[in-house]
């Protein structure tokens, strides 16, 4: 399993489909996940430190967890089938709840919970950006200009269909 960090979100034309980019903390692989507009907005607001005047859905989830005395410890991206990613939210007391990765990550960002991708997902969908050497893990905590530019170049050449599994 590899710990991941959120690099950022980019909206890809012509469909205006948001892409969430994660990067291994101790590695060079990136994991692009196509997500919905509202989840992208929620993640982007949190990443920028913008606090809405009223709680968004992901803020509500955090508030509910706190009200019920639960702590989100970890989000795990546990699978991918036909280009769709699957995740679990792991709470204290070994309580596990299935979730979409975009929702789980939006909540994890608000709780400072660890984001993990299992090896099978990273091996199947993880990518090394052009002009980046494997094992180069010296990226700063936030996304560097070079990292963002590499992400843009990568997105110009990839589509969601690139992540479909082999035809059965």
Q: Tens digit of pLDDT for each residue in 62-110?
A: 999 999 999 999 999 999 999 899 999 999 999 999 999 999 999 999 9
Output 130 or 10, whichever has higher pLDDT: 10
Which pLDDT tens digit goes with each residue over 108-126? Answer: 999 999 999 999 999 999 9
d(C-alpha 121, C-alpha 17), whole Å: 21
Q: Which range has highest mean pLDDT (27-36, 123-132, 148-157)? A: 27-36
**CATH 3.10.690.10 is the classification of domain 2-163:** yes
Domain residue extents for the chain: 2-163
- Structure token digits, residue 33: 């996940």
Beta pairing class for 84-91 and 17-24: unpaired
Which of 9-13, 27-31, 152-156 is least confident?
152-156
Q: Which two tokens stand for residue 87?
A: 């995740």
The DSSP bridge partners found for residue 31 are 22
């Amino acid at each position: 399993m590899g710990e991941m960090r959120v690099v950022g979100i980019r909206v890809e034309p012509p469909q205006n489909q948001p892409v969430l980019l994660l990067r291994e903390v101790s590695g060079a692989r990136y994991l692009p996940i196509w997500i919905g507009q509202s989840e992208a907005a929620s993640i982007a607001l949190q990443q920028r430190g913008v606090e809405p005047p009223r709680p968004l859905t992901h803020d509500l989830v955090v508030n509910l967890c706190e009200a019920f005395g639960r702590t989100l410890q970890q989000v795990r991206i546990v699978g991918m089938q036909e280009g769709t990613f699957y995740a679990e939210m792991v709470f204290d007391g070994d309580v596990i709840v299935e979730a979409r990765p975009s929702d789980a990550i939006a909540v994890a960002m608000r709780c400072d919970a660890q984001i993990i991708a299992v090896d099978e997902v990273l091996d199947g969908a993880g990518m090394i950006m052009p002009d980046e050497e494997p094992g180069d893990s010296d990226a700063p905590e936030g996304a560097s200009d070079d990292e963002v530019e590499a992400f843009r170049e990568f997105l110009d050449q990839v589509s969601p269909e690139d992540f479909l599994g082999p035809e059965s």
